[in-house]
A and B are shown apart, each in its own frame.
Chain A
Amino acid sequence: MSIERARSLTTVAPWVALALLAVPGLGASSYLTYSHYADEATICAGVGSCELVQTSSYSTITGVPVALMGLLYFIAVAALAAARLLRIPWVVDWGTPVLFTMAIGGTAFVTYLTYIEIFVLEAICPWCVSVAVMTVISLCLAVWARAIEAREQP
């Protein structure tokens, strides 16, 4: 394998990981959004208090479910990762700072929501926690992508 090819693979590695991360992220946030709109009790697999968290007054902001915000986040992440892997020029140039900005916002928001779960509602929803963890991972991948980009800069 040429050095050029190895470098190219390293450059796209965080984006491949991000595309893979988007799959469970979309799954979990879709389920939470569906159960919110369908008025169905969230399946908690016997762990945690999904119902409490999902029906609490913290589960919406001016009527918009936070679960839907999570879904939109992972749709954006998936679209950005796909565009970067397809080498769409604008995303090759600006994808990393855009991802970093989104991931900082996402991580700050899930930190707030997790704080509410633990200290205000005193209830944990495993689905929400998994979305929060995946959002934090997306920030780590953004930092990784940024580090690679910085290393490649002359």
Chain B
Amino acid sequence: MTKRKSGERRRGSRSGRTGWLYAAGGGAALGVVGALILLAAVSRGDNEGNSGGEVFVPTPRPATVARNAQVFGDPAAPVSIIEYLDFQCPICRRAGEQILPPIEQEFIATGKARLEVRPIAILGDESSYAAQSAQCAEEQGKFWEFHDLLFGNQAGENKGAFSKDNLKRFASALGLDTAAFNSCLDSGKYANQVKQDTATALNSGVKGTPTILVNGVKVDNSLDAVRVAITSALNGGS
């Protein structure tokens, strides 16, 4: 009897719940989502590209370590590390700041491994401009300086951080011959090469960036994984 009364009360309360409740709930939900989208736009605006501010120039790499174009370290080192990267990719920047420096110190500076980076462009036009500009910097022997500078000035994707104008400012901040650099970048002489490198990487199984290979075998993007793979290769593993 009590149960039935309770059920009737419940049903009674439900019957009082008309469409307005759903309309109010739906309207409130849409309002919250609208506010979220607005917040997203504002917070992205805060992070948008370095389009005129000061250029951050990273500390130069040690001159004692051999380098040859995109290869850092002794070309005859027994272990090969290859990294596919996109200069606009934030995880690549973190790999460059957190994974590779200890590896460079432990294995590359000691002649046990060499690092080759292969810039590709999967995140849009500015990825391509950045990769081309690194090749233009290499014409003046500054690939690695430009590589570090690009990551140091990364700010959003396709928002102007790596516009051609900004890349020219980077070259100037790095002390490059700006006339030669600007002409190289404007001519687009490396545009096709970047396009082909990207297609080759994707066709060879690269599914994202960064992709790190140690002696041709893909490893996880963590310092431990790279360190273990190199140590294993040095000890006669793959």
Q: Which chain A residues border B156 with CB–CB below 8 Å? A: 57
- Are A40 and B122 in contact (CB-based, < 8 A)? no
Q: Which chain A residues border B207 with CB–CB below 8 Å? A: 41, 43-44, 46, 51
A127 to B: closest C-beta gap in Å: 13
- Are B221 and A108 in contact (CB-based, < 8 A)? no
A132 to B: closest C-beta gap in Å: 13
Nearest opposing residue in chain A for B91, CB measure: A39
- Are B47 and A57 in contact (CB-based, < 8 A)? yes
Distance between Cα atoms of A42 and B91 in the complex (Å):
12
- Are A101 and B15 in contact (CB-based, < 8 A)? no
Q: Which chain A residues border B15 with CB–CB below 8 Å? A: 153-154
A87 to B: closest C-beta gap in Å: 11
Judge if A52 is at the interface, Cβ distance under 8 Å: yes
CB within 8 Å for A51 and B208 given contacts A39-B221, A93-B13, A112-B37: yes
- Are B25 and A41 in contact (CB-based, < 8 A)? no
Nearest opposing residue in chain A for B15, CB measure: A153
- Are B39 and A61 in contact (CB-based, < 8 A)? yes
B151 to A: closest C-beta gap in Å: 14
Judge if B123 is at the interface, Cβ distance under 8 Å: yes
* Interface positions of A from 64 to 79, Cβ below 8 Å from B: none
The stretch of B26-34, B57-65, B132-140, B169-177 in contact with A is B26-34
- Pick from B21, B25, B43, B94: contact of A61, CB below 8 A: B43
- Are A101 and B26 in contact (CB-based, < 8 A)? yes
Q: Which chain A residues border B208 with CB–CB below 8 Å? A: 41-42, 44, 50-52
- Pick from B14, B29, B221: contact of A41, CB below 8 A: B221
- Are B157 and A62 in contact (CB-based, < 8 A)? no
A108 to B: closest C-beta gap in Å: 4
Judge if B80 is at the interface, Cβ distance under 8 Å: no
Distance between Cα atoms of A109 and B90 in the complex (Å):
24
**How many residues does chain B have at the interface if contact means C-beta atoms less than 8 Å apart?**
39
Distance between Cα atoms of A109 and B22 in the complex (Å):
18
Q: Which chain B residues border A92 with CB–CB below 8 Å? A: 10
CB within 8 Å for A97 and B25 given contacts A42-B208, A109-B36, A153-B14: yes
- Are B211 and A41 in contact (CB-based, < 8 A)? yes
Judge if A15 is at the interface, Cβ distance under 8 Å: no
Distance between Cα atoms of A7 and B161 in the complex (Å):
61
- Pick from A46, A100, A152: contact of B26, CB below 8 A: A100
Name, among A58, A61, A63, the residue most crowded by chain B CB atoms within 10 Å (CB to CB): A61
B42 to A: closest C-beta gap in Å: 9
Distance between Cα atoms of A121 and B183 in the complex (Å):
30
- Are A104 and B37 in contact (CB-based, < 8 A)? no
- Pick from A40, A63, A89, A105: contact of B32, CB below 8 A: A105
A50 to B: closest C-beta gap in Å: 7
Q: Which chain B residues border A149 with CB–CB below 8 Å? A: 14
A151 to B: closest C-beta gap in Å: 11
- Are A49 and B122 in contact (CB-based, < 8 A)? yes
Q: Which chain B residues border A93 with CB–CB below 8 Å? A: 10, 13-14
Distance between Cα atoms of A44 and B208 in the complex (Å):
9
Sample 9 A-B pairs with CB under 8 A, ordered by A number: A39-B91, A41-B221, A55-B90, A55-B91, A55-B123, A62-B40, A101-B22, A101-B25, A101-B28
Contact surface of B with A, Cβ cutoff 8 Å? 10-11, 13-15, 17, 21-22, 25-26, 28-30, 32-33, 36-37, 39-40, 43-44, 47, 89-91, 94, 122-123, 156-157, 159, 207-211, 220-222
